[in-house]
Amino acid sequence: MIRDRIKGEEILQKASTIGQYYGFTPLSLLTAAPRLAGAKSKAEPPKLDFKNDPNAETIFGFLKQFKSTGLPPSSRQPMFVWHTNIAPGRPLQKKVTVQFHALGTDRAIADTIVIRALVALARDLFHEEPTVRINSMGDKETRARYARELGVFFRKRACALSEECLNFAKSDVFLAAEHAINNGYAEELPSPTEHLSDASRKRFEDLLEYLEMTETPYELARHLMSRGGVWSDICFEIVVGDKRVAWGSRYTDLVKTFFNSGSFPATGAVFQISGLSTEENKEIVVKKVPQSRLRFSFVHIGDEAKRLSIQLAENFRKERVPLMQHIGIESLTEQLHLAEKQNSPYLLIMGRKEALEKTAIVRNCQTREETVIPLEGIIERLRAFV
């Protein structure tokens, strides 16, 4: 049985630390400046019916708050953001959520970083090794093709399927598919990945390649479903024991309803823990979690360096090296700008050359002195600079 009693401070501390090491900015930090400046969003958020999809409703709430920042991401400046409904100074919610979002980038590294952050959080909170299950429902072209295949399936199996399932199929074949899976017909259903468009297949293959290159274990779950209207392409879940603790997917179409400047890619995930607040402890106020002082800002450029930085993030975190990085941001100039704002005494720099040589450069931001160090034993070497 997984843990079902976790203090709010522990969840907040773990989520904050993981966000820091994997390059996610807290939404509270982004929304603070507009509130202080009296900024308000003029446009009313759209009204949508999520048909009992709590994950879509949760991400919709996140987008409403994110829009108020006045900082729409773009392919030139993607944003990685984390958010929680835990608020220091207030009682813990009955259903605690932690969200990780990658906004403005179509690259598979974004999905990989979100998944890695979820795995780290699940492992830390439940003290068990989580399972990553992943599938792709494809884009609109794929969904239309797959919907036709599901329609044929339900017509051919009409005699064997329940009346409830057939009624679902009349209005929503994807809902009917979920019902069929829950009633023992999972192996008979057609697989969505067999009907992927060329673009969706390429995106799915890129993600699987990134997961393998960063040594992230996963399982292909051909019957993991996502409904249309909100979700597209990849979908994934994090399972601990036999319980799903997190769900994620791309949701580019939902973003279109919030920003008039066109659509941009978006991947998000909701980590949910229920049963944490009882009648006995509902008035217990969550304490503020102290933040450690940063010593290093890790900047990197090139796929080789990015992949290594994802793997190194967990090593730095476990050994409590006070470090911040922005893995998903491609521009070295933007990374250096963010590092300057963080006011870290040292930069840890890795380009393609350093990644291939398995080295990194430590730069003293005050003296500009640089030292090349090997990645082997890097933790102990960095401690000399702390």
Residue-wise pLDDT tens digits, 285-314:
777 777 777 899 999 999 899 999 999 999
Residues pairing with 350 in the sheet: 300
Q: What is the β-pairing status of strands 323-325 and 359-364?
A: unpaired
Query: Is pLDDT at 282 greater than 60 in this prediction?
Result: no
Residue 221 token pair:
């779950």
What CATH number matches the domain at 8-137+197-274, 2.40.110.20, 3.30.930.10, 3.10.150.10, 3.40.50.11540? Answer: 3.30.930.10
Q: Would the CA dihedral through 232, 115, 240, 121 be positive or negative?
A: negative
CB within 8 Å of 133: residues ≥ 6 apart? 218, 219, 220, 221, 224, 236, 237, 238, 239
Residue 40, phi then psi, degrees to nearest 5: -135, 145
- The identity of residue 268, as a single letter, is G
Region 232-240: what's the mean pLDDT? 95
Query: Highest mean pLDDT: which of 47-56, 161-170, 350-359?
Result: 350-359
Summarize pLDDT for 33-87 with one digit per residue, the tens.
655 444 455 555 566 667 778 899 999 999 989 988 877 766 677 889 999 998 8
Residue 42: Cβ-neighbour burial (10 angstroms; 0-12, 13-18, 19+): exposed
Q: 163: how many CB neighbours lie within 10 A of its CB?
A: 8
Query: Is pLDDT at 133 greater than 70 in this prediction?
Result: yes
Q: 20: how many CB neighbours lie within 10 A of its CB?
A: 23
Q: What is the β-pairing status of strands 323-325 and 296-300?
A: parallel
Residues of the chain with CATH 3.30.930.10: 8-137+197-274
What's the fold here for domain 296-383? Rossmann fold (3.40.50)
pLDDT computed for residue 338 by the predictor: 86
Residue 77 token pair:
């400046």
Query: Is pLDDT at 341 greater than 80 in this prediction?
Result: yes
* Contact between 255 and 160 (Cβ < 8 Å): no
Residues of the chain with CATH 3.40.50.800: 296-383
Say what the alpha-carbon torsion angle 297, 208, 173, 264 is, to the nearest 10 degrees.
40
Region 147-168: what's the mean pLDDT? 89
